[in-house]
Structure 1
Amino acid sequence: MSTIRVRRGVLASSMALALFAPHAFAQTSNTSSSNTSSSDQQTSQQSTSSSGQQANQKQAVKLQTVTVTGSMIPRVEVEGPAPVVSLTGEQIKDQGFTTLWEFLDSLPQVGQQSSDPAAWGSSSVNARSVNLRNVGPGFSLLLIDGHRVVDYPQPLNKQSNFQNYNNLPTGMIDHVEILASGASSIYGSDAVAGVINVILKKNYQGDELQVTGGGATRGGRRYGDINFFGGKSGENWHVLYNVEKSNRTALWGMDRPYEDSVSDAGYGSWSPASRMFGYQYDAQGAIALSAQNASGQYITPPAGTCGKFTNSQLSHSYSTTASGTQVTGVTDNGYYCSQPALFQNWVLTPGSRNNSGYVAGEYDFKDTSLQLYGSVALYDTVGISNTQLPVEATGQFYDQTTGQVINQAIRQLTAQEMGTSANTHDREQNWNLQTGLRGSFDDSRFNWDVNLNSQKYTVREDYTGIDVNAMNNFFLGKQLGTTAGGLPIYAMNWQQWWNPITPQQYGQFAVSGENTSSSWLDQVQARINGDLYKLPWVDEPIGWAAVLEAAHNGFLLSPDARGDNNNFQNPFGAYLTGGGTRQRYSFGNEFRVPVLDSVTWTISGRLDKYHDASRADVARTWGTGLEWRPYDGLLLRGSYGTNFKAPDMQAIYLTGSTSPIGDYVDPLQCINAIKAGQNNSTWCSQVQRPTSQYYNLTTEGSRLLQPQTGHSWTYGFVWQIPGVQGLSFSADYWHMGVDNAIQYLDPGTVLVDEAGCLTGLQVNGSSALSTYTAHVPGSQYCKMVTQMVQRNAAGQIVSEESGPINEASLYVSGIDASLDYKLQTENWGNFTANINYTDNLEYKQRVLASDPLQNTRYNNVASRITWIGNWHKGDWDVSISGVRDGGLRSPNYGSCNTLPNGIQPSMITVQSGTETVATGVCQVTVNGANVTVPDTEYTGHTPVWITWNTSVAYQFNPAMNLKLTVSNIFDRVSTIPYYAGGFEFVTTGQTGSEYNGREIFLTFDYKID
């Protein structure tokens, strides 16, 4: 009663393998080819469903029915109206990928990530999202064996729901299928940009052991994996079991020397003082140990102080003033201890320890068409990450010990002082249980399936924090009163300040925190499909399928209660609370109508009813597709559908989560300072503020949110090229859009827009102003955003609000193309090859309907090509693969070139219709007047990024196989763009922004029986 999946050996280079709606319940055969162990599958290349109908069309006609991606109706044709990508688990490993997420992130259809896993303040450090078509991680739907997967408990970027692709072990995967087009009329919410379906192994007979070891040749990322799987069968039953244990060590900043120094920032980002005297570490927040007097001068540390601390050296600080193109003054700010290797204790790529188990079984009732099935899966993961170690940053106070005012003092702790690396451990458990009953009636004309599924995901996050009050007491002592001017008085312990402390002393103010979170999903699904009747003029009957679903899901965030206190410092910079539930009821229909023998029309519709605290109520979606086969070797196809996404539960139910912000830029104060001629104002750069200048950021959800609506269409062809056996080509145009999208106004955007709305200006570079054009001053948006920031009489920020609104629009389009070739020879073995290409033509977005719709395609990687070739002969299997990413605009693109002395002019812009256009003419300010300088617009790009991978396998005997896999053969790592600055210095958003380098793995595979 299981549906079969078409093998690549049957239809050369075919990409339309079954998407498996819950086991797809097509009444065909008791053995599903999708349930065959990957070791029994021929090694083949990556492909797409658009890889083509083969010349031998009669073979496809003889195939049993399969469930085609994006459809609930089994069919004989393996090509559908929209392109699909599919790879087996073995093919994923052949390309050097050790996790499902690594593989998905390399696909041409997947856009850049919206969150850097190593970024400071990440609230989901151990999870990885997938961003199909660059629409956003929340717009892609993850399925396992055709069933929805529970959301990750913690929010992405402290804002929204997403599904974790990082905890699924590759050893359990039979194959993965990706439909990168909207499919809400089949799958409901979230399937706006597409669907990713992971098919686990089924129906394996015997036992097999796989052991893999390896790591990066540059150091770090050591990897070990043990995978045991097998299956047993009886007369009317079958059981499969799989246990996998893996360990991947973290990649630390110290493992990559070019990331080991703050001075590795792009030279274009160096300030005038940096160019005159050397890179200024304090300008980048890399202070290890310092104290400033009332005038802002650094108090020189005692001789030899810096050398007592690891990762510390004595540095000299300078700042400059400028007028026009000239540096007019230099200020000596004194000496302090800096961190030349700022990121050495930061995790660039988190490590993980995984223990996973999976058991699945089927039982056929004798003399009936009934089959009982079920499965239990447990994914247990410990993620290891770390960012900045605890730091003491005082506000202004009077020091009774020295009799002077201390403006600010900063003390970065070290791992040696703490006696620990202060890692954060995310301990995760994800349960997935299901059972079902399926059968047929009316002489197997109709098939039905009823499935019950329950999932729960929990995360316990253990981290190192500090008690700020206790830390202040340790270094400053108890407060001794206040001065006449209102400053607190302390008697600072300079002996402890200028010398390393012991782990025992650190224990006086160290605390261990624990955040917990959970999410759950319970769902029931009933499906039916079958043939209705034949039209008089065609041979095939009308196909029909229907689905009825009910689901209950929810989440709960339970952070450490001390995190709501400014005296408790944690590494996430947030205190996220909230929780809620949602019920959903759905009904869908699909018809497949053979209009002519060569023309097939499909139409589907779905109704989703929601009960939650948002304004989501009823969502109606529909889709249609057309396939025309004018002759056996050519398929012309197209599809259209409406889509929707229910409001994220995190966006609805996040309560007033408040976090102290002390490291920020204040655009309004920066603009005012520049207008006053204070071009070196510290408000223009992101620095750590004194405690007295911290403000509270409140982030909360909204119960006024409505569903996000969208549409998508595709059209293209699949062509078996005449005269060349085994060669096929496909090309498809795709387009999708989202309206009424939920836009999170992040803190930086709120502050920039507040300043622009109030002044009509924006900051260009660090010392120039230009016209603010993002929104019209006085508009509804400006009224809203200026109310989100509260300031005191001195103009300093007291509080800021951030949250979601239903306003944004996003439209993307592009072209997918694929070329597949398969050649069988008598003496030279068998060859397969595949090339996939995606060109993202448009990426148009806006926040409000009144905003201009601008194409920002070049802010993302515009094109990607992947390829893989395989050779098999006798006991040998060899594959070679690669990825090519197109260039990306470098930091500072569209601004003026920095002058040789470090001064950066501003770009003159003009308004052209709804768009702001750079003129290419640059200017500086002299005595309040703008003066043109002979400079040009910077148009630098990051270089094209190409990596190659290979694997070589040898079958010693029927039971034993050995495989060597090398990823990134030529050991490429990221380069630092000329204007890159800030965290890690490399440009994010493309495969080239990685640090791993070459990785080598050796896999031993032994079939026990």
Structure 2
Amino acid sequence: MIKSKLTVAVVATLALGYTSAYAQSTQTDASQQSTSQQSTDQAPDAAKAKKLQAVTVTGSLIPQTQIETATPTVTITADQLKARGFATVAQALQQSSNAVGSVTGPEAVGTFTQGAQTLSLFGLSPGYVKYLIDGRPMGNFPALYNGSDVFNNLSSIPVEMVDHIDILPGGQSSLYGSDAIAGVINIVLKKKIDAPVLDVRYGWNSNGGGAARRGYLADSFNVGKFNLIAGVQFESTQPIWAYDRSLTAQADLDAVGGPIAERDYLATDPTLGIDSYKFADPNNCANTTAGFGGTTGYRYRANSGNYCGSYYGEQAYVTLANESKTANLYTHATFDVNDNLQLYSDLLYNYQEQKYQPGGATDWLTSSSGLTFYDPIRAQYTDLQRIFSPEEVGGYQNSMNTQVENAYMFSLGGKGTFGQSNWDYDLGFTHSNDKTNERGYVAFTNPINTFFTNRVLGPDLTSTLGPDPDGYGVPVFEPNYAAFYTPITPAEYHSFTGYATTLGKTWDNMLRGQVTNASLFTLPGGDAGLAVVLEGGNQGWGYVPDPGYFNGDIYNYTADQGAGHRSRYAVTTELNFPLLQQLTVDVSGRRDGYEVSGHQVKHNTYTVSLEYRPFESLLLRGKYGTAFKMPTLADEYSGTSGYYSSVTDYYNCAKLGFTGPTLGQCPGVYSQASYFNSTSGNVNLKPITAKDWNYGVVWAPTSKLSVTVDYLHFDIRNEVGTVPPDTISQENSLCLQGILDPTTPSCINAINAITRNQFGAIEDIYTPNQNIARERVNAITANLNYQVDIGAYGSLSFSGSYSDELKHEEQPLAGDPFINYLDSPLYSTDFKTKANVSVTWSLGEWTTTLFANRDGRSPNYLATTLDNYSAPGTGYLAAWVTYNGSVQYSPTKNLTLSFLVNNLFNKMPPVDNSYPGYVFGPYNSANYSVYGRQLYLEATYKFGRPSAQ
């Protein structure tokens, strides 16, 4: 009786919202049918609930008869993915309530992994999530998130092949090893198909761009003891360009101080701060006006000067959603040798080709070319800058970057029972492999510099006229400014541009053996269980860019590079003790070992959990344990590398009096200072360690209602990472001004991290991998599921999910004070709260779902630059609420027609006019999306009559 209502209530609500239950990772057909029957019957009596077959669930190695355990689990089923309007697995996971952290993706233009997607649980690093496919570790993506972290790419997972997804918040390393600090996400693929199925979908965006087509075909085959499931999915998506959205098509018209045109033709004196723009066009921009659709003209920037530019510049011609073509193949095969042995194999193959335009290959700057010069006629030092318009390039769509990814995961093994005993075994080998081929469209250094030297600068006159008067050692030119202010032709542009190729690869081999006894011996509360796992293998990573990124042949760009491999092993044990009918204790421990560059790294983790059921409808649960993350192969083996970018030079801006609300008026030479960001790996990094605990309650007073509330705590040490360059620049400024204590370790690092050139401008920012001291997070999560029968009007299903980040603080370096992320917007733009609600109405052949997602408030741009909420103009952006909806109709038992909408009311990101006026798209792309309303028509047909359940 004690177990019945909890079990039945949770199983009965599987069809509801993000169900806090059912963390099944692998199933036999019998267990699937058993669960389905429980869900259909919704039986409230204890006898039927106790017949629920024990199944292996995510979060335990021992088969369970209880679906709710000491580990909070949120499950998203295949039906929920579709009903809530989610087009991809990434989209669904990013809108789960635990995913409060800011992450970059396709909308974060110019970042390292614009062709990949991920998420952040509780504002922690994306690399702190362990991703599993059918309970096996998912292969890593070769390119590095933020240029430093190996991570998992969610963009190519075939959504139609997913049976359900389990999200387990909290540390899980004692069962799953490295990475499982913030949680585990297990993507469970379909293991049973009743009949051949064909699914086709067409989607479009009401704001333009993003049209999508998808087809899926799957079937199962049975020949004697052999069973095979096979499915293929094909999908193509058109890009969304920044000019497709009014928010990103031009400089912010409502910015404080008004919009600021892009600097497409600029001459500036790098020795000056105020009034540094030194306009030099004898034709006053008359020859430039055809650029950017006829919008280029004579412009003025306050405190800087005049130039030729457009309010509809290069930033409007980048992609916010990638063009993509994807093909997936999935097979699951079993062969029953006898009653005690079943052989199995699984294959998941993904091919994805993406194209995107990040901008950047359309610029030429003397400062980046080492060609800053002295003009003796104008008697000034000069830098020139050109941004090429689409008319000069021949269309930005013809110079897009491409990324081709080939990834597969293959498993082969056998499982069964030792004779007539209670001992089960599973021995399997898994190999994953992910290869990428990236072709970046770039300019080549010698050709572009030669072109503009011949066209604009002319010969170096140093030997004729003598050196520059102030002894900076720069060349002396008498430029042809009329030629500089004249557009080039597409043929000329393509004479100094082309493609550079980068190859990436990750691989992982794992041999894993497990023995399990779910009835080891009998205790007052039931049978004790034991599981022991031995595993060993090796893994490798390599990322090899074109040599031109490092020898200077490629203009204004560099890249990350490196390669390494290591071997590893692990021993895991789990014991489950039902001490009383009301009380169950589960203990697990794991020892991981790695060999890195000839030295051994070992780490132990453990977890103790309690489940207490004082009466049949109530579960009190708690868990305490440790977790860890081994530094990634890129953390350890990345070579010295970096990239060119721009950053605000807060110190020079402050020296000129531009801070706070006036920061947008800082001269462009400092507000958009070009610099080189360099970093490197470290084979001596220590493992990241964590202590975590959670406690909570599950209440299921009826079979159709369940409520869960859990409190989670994370205490993480020895984190590996780099400090963001913008953060370093801000800290550098505050330390140099004495606003922060310049003697603290952080200030010393911030001052030493920046190298300035002879003019005092930022030249290089060094951000090496390091063990950051500590991070602590407290959070609360809650889930509600309720189902009600409304008679002749069908049934209603309600679900809700909520997360609140109560505390998030970090100590950047040992000896530093803790930084409260919730009050320090310089360091975090994460949502403090996140919630979603779903309502489903089912009536006969019709099913309608409305899904609402609420992202809590986040800091505005000015707050992130000043690191406070008290200065004028700083503050919070309002909560962002979006709605998805779907209508599904089954005119026959074989055919289902669906109309799905994502972002039903076409909600754009909250308005943030605190961005400087030169920013196109004044919104945080790591938090929000400008895609707007996406609509889909879908038809699913099952050939033949589906078998009865």
Do both share a fold (TM > 0.5)? yes
Q: 1:300 Cα shift?
A: 3.6
Q: State the match for 1:654 in structure 2.
A: 638
Quote the RMSD (CA, aligned, Å).
3.1
Q: State the match for 1:839 in structure 2.
A: 804
Partner SS for 2:891:
strand
Query: 2:389 aligned with 1:453, yes or no?
Result: no
Q: Could you report, residue by residue, the CA deviation over 1:939-976 in whole angstroms, capped at 9, with x for unpaired residues? A: 53211211121111111212211111112111111232
C-alpha distance 259-683 of structure 1, shift in aligned 2 (>3 A): closer
Q: Percent identity?
A: 25
Q: Which stretch shows the higher mean deviation, 976-985 or 372-381?
A: 976-985
Q: 1:141 Cα shift?
A: 0.6
Gaps of 5+ in 2: 1-6, 271-275, 469-473, 824-828, 945-949
Partner SS for 1:591:
strand
Query: 2:688 aligned with 1:708, yes or no?
Result: yes
C-alpha separation in 2, matches of 1:685 and 1:616? 47
What are the residue-to-residue correspondences of 1:62-73 with 2, within 5 Å? 62-73=51-62
Q: 1:581 Cα shift?
A: 0.6
Q: 1:669 Cα shift?
A: 4.1
The one-letter amino acid of 2:390's match is A
C-alpha separation in 2, matches of 1:262 and 1:428? 34
Q: Which stretch shows the higher mean deviation, 845-854 or 957-966?
A: 845-854
Q: Could you report, residue by residue, the CA deviation over 1:132-174 in whole angstroms, capped at 9, with x for unpaired residues? A: 1211101001100000011110111001111111110101111
Partner SS for 1:500:
coil
Partner SS for 1:74:
coil
What are the residue-to-residue correspondences of 1:504-903 with 2, within 5 Å? 504-535=491-522, 538=524, 540-569=526-555, 573-613=557-597, 617-660=601-644, 663-674=646-657, 682=667, 685-688=670-673, 696-721=676-701, 726-757=704-735, 759-761=736-738, 771-772=739-740, 776-791=741-756, 795-797=760-762, 799-857=764-822, 859-893=829-863
Q: State the match for 2:117 in structure 1.
A: 128
Q: 1:485 Cα shift?
A: 2.2
Q: Could you report, residue by residue, the CA deviation over 1:221-242 in whole angstroms, capped at 9, with x for unpaired residues? A: 1111001111111331210111
The one-letter amino acid of 2:682's match is S
C-alpha separation in 1, matches of 2:543 and 2:459? 36
Q: State the match for 1:988 in structure 2.
A: 924
Q: 1:917 Cα shift?
A: 8.9
Q: State the match for 1:304 in structure 2.
A: 286
Q: State the match for 2:333 in structure 1.
A: 361
Asked if the contact 2:206–2:933 (Cα under 8 Å) also holds between the matched residues in 1, the reply is yes
Q: Could you report, residue by residue, the CA deviation over 1:715-748 in whole angstroms, capped at 9, with x for unpaired residues? A: 1111123xx6522222111111211212313333
Q: 1:184 Cα shift?
A: 0.6
Name which structure has the greater RCO, CA cutoff 8 Å, separation 6+: 2
C-alpha separation in 2, matches of 1:784 and 1:289? 37
Q: 1:177 Cα shift?
A: 0.7
C-alpha distance 879-443 of structure 1, shift in aligned 2 (>3 A): same
Query: Of the candidates 339, 342, 349, which is equivalent to residue 371 of structure 1?
Result: 342
Query: 2:156 aligned with 1:186, yes or no?
Result: no
Query: 2:914 aligned with 1:979, yes or no?
Result: yes
The one-letter amino acid of 1:365's match is V
The one-letter amino acid of 1:700's match is S
Asked if the contact 2:332–2:347 (Cα under 8 Å) also holds between the matched residues in 1, the reply is yes
C-alpha separation in 1, matches of 2:330 and 2:850? 31
C-alpha separation in 2, matches of 1:726 and 1:259? 46
C-alpha separation in 2, matches of 1:787 and 1:651? 22
Q: 1:568 Cα shift?
A: 1.5
Q: State the match for 2:383 in structure 1.
A: 408
Q: 1:554 Cα shift?
A: 1.0
C-alpha separation in 2, matches of 1:208 and 1:894? 50
The one-letter amino acid of 2:933's match is R
Asked if the contact 1:616–1:707 (Cα under 8 Å) also holds between the matched residues in 2, the reply is no
Partner SS for 2:302:
strand
C-alpha separation in 1, matches of 2:623 and 2:802? 20
Query: 2:385 aligned with 1:385, yes or no?
Result: no
Q: State the match for 1:267 in structure 2.
A: 255
Q: Could you report, residue by residue, the CA deviation over 1:788-815 in whole angstroms, capped at 9, with x for unpaired residues? A: 4444565455544221211331111121
Normalised by the length of structure 1, the TM-score is: 0.84
Q: State the match for 2:826 in structure 1.
A: none
C-alpha separation in 1, matches of 2:475 and 2:548? 25
C-alpha separation in 2, matches of 1:831 and 1:502? 63
C-alpha separation in 2, matches of 1:199 and 1:592? 24
Q: 1:408 Cα shift?
A: 2.5
What are the residue-to-residue correspondences of 1:25-104 with 2, within 5 Å? 30-33=29-32, 55-104=44-93
Query: 2:156 aligned with 1:167, yes or no?
Result: yes
Q: State the match for 1:47 in structure 2.
A: none
C-alpha separation in 1, matches of 2:448 and 2:9? 64
Asked if the contact 2:130–2:179 (Cα under 8 Å) also holds between the matched residues in 1, the reply is yes
C-alpha separation in 1, matches of 2:85 and 2:126? 24
C-alpha separation in 1, matches of 2:267 and 2:759? 25
Partner SS for 1:504:
helix
C-alpha separation in 1, matches of 2:278 and 2:44? 80
Q: State the match for 1:243 in structure 2.
A: 232
C-alpha separation in 2, matches of 1:887 and 1:875? 40
Q: State the match for 2:4 in structure 1.
A: none
Normalised by the length of structure 2, the TM-score is: 0.89
Q: Could you report, residue by residue, the CA deviation over 1:321-343 in whole angstroms, capped at 9, with x for unpaired residues? A: xxxxxxxxxx8x33423343442
Asked if the contact 1:614–1:647 (Cα under 8 Å) also holds between the matched residues in 2, the reply is no
Q: 1:465 Cα shift?
A: 0.8
Q: Could you report, residue by residue, the CA deviation over 1:917-948 in whole angstroms, capped at 9, with x for unpaired residues? A: 98x6xxxxxxxxxxxxxxx7555321121112
Partner SS for 1:258:
coil
Q: Could you report, residue by residue, the CA deviation over 1:57-116 in whole angstroms, capped at 9, with x for unpaired residues? A: 433211000123311000111111121111112311221111111110001111223325
C-alpha separation in 2, matches of 1:973 and 1:178? 28
C-alpha separation in 2, matches of 1:41 and 1:994? 40
Q: 1:890 Cα shift?
A: 2.1
Q: Which stretch shows the higher mean deviation, 55-64 or 586-595?
A: 55-64
Q: State the match for 1:441 in structure 2.
A: 418
C-alpha separation in 2, matches of 1:360 and 1:110? 31
Asked if the contact 1:20–1:146 (Cα under 8 Å) also holds between the matched residues in 2, the reply is no
Q: State the match for 2:12 in structure 1.
A: 11
C-alpha distance 865-787 of structure 1, shift in aligned 2 (>3 A): closer
Asked if the contact 2:567–2:595 (Cα under 8 Å) also holds between the matched residues in 1, the reply is yes
C-alpha separation in 2, matches of 1:109 and 1:426? 30
C-alpha distance 162-505 of structure 1, shift in aligned 2 (>3 A): same
C-alpha distance 699-648 of structure 1, shift in aligned 2 (>3 A): same
Asked if the contact 2:140–2:151 (Cα under 8 Å) also holds between the matched residues in 1, the reply is yes
Q: Could you report, residue by residue, the CA deviation over 1:813-869 in whole angstroms, capped at 9, with x for unpaired residues? A: 121112211123542223211111112111111202322223322642111111112
Q: Which stretch shows the higher mean deviation, 964-973 or 784-793?
A: 784-793
Q: 1:310 Cα shift?
A: 2.5
Gaps of 5+ in 1: 1-5, 45-52, 321-330, 690-694, 762-770, 896-905, 907-915, 921-935
Q: State the match for 2:3 in structure 1.
A: none
C-alpha separation in 1, matches of 2:770 and 2:433? 29
Asked if the contact 1:670–1:684 (Cα under 8 Å) also holds between the matched residues in 2, the reply is no
Corresponding pairs, count = 902
C-alpha separation in 2, matches of 1:641 and 1:751? 38
Q: Could you report, residue by residue, the CA deviation over 1:698-728 in whole angstroms, capped at 9, with x for unpaired residues? A: 210112210011011111111123xx65222
Asked if the contact 2:442–2:500 (Cα under 8 Å) also holds between the matched residues in 1, the reply is yes
C-alpha separation in 2, matches of 1:103 and 1:584? 33
Q: 1:489 Cα shift?
A: 4.7
Q: Could you report, residue by residue, the CA deviation over 1:628-672 in whole angstroms, capped at 9, with x for unpaired residues? A: 1122111111111111111122111111114445x3333444455
C-alpha separation in 1, matches of 2:211 and 2:410? 32
The one-letter amino acid of 2:32's match is S
Asked if the contact 2:802–2:833 (Cα under 8 Å) also holds between the matched residues in 1, the reply is yes
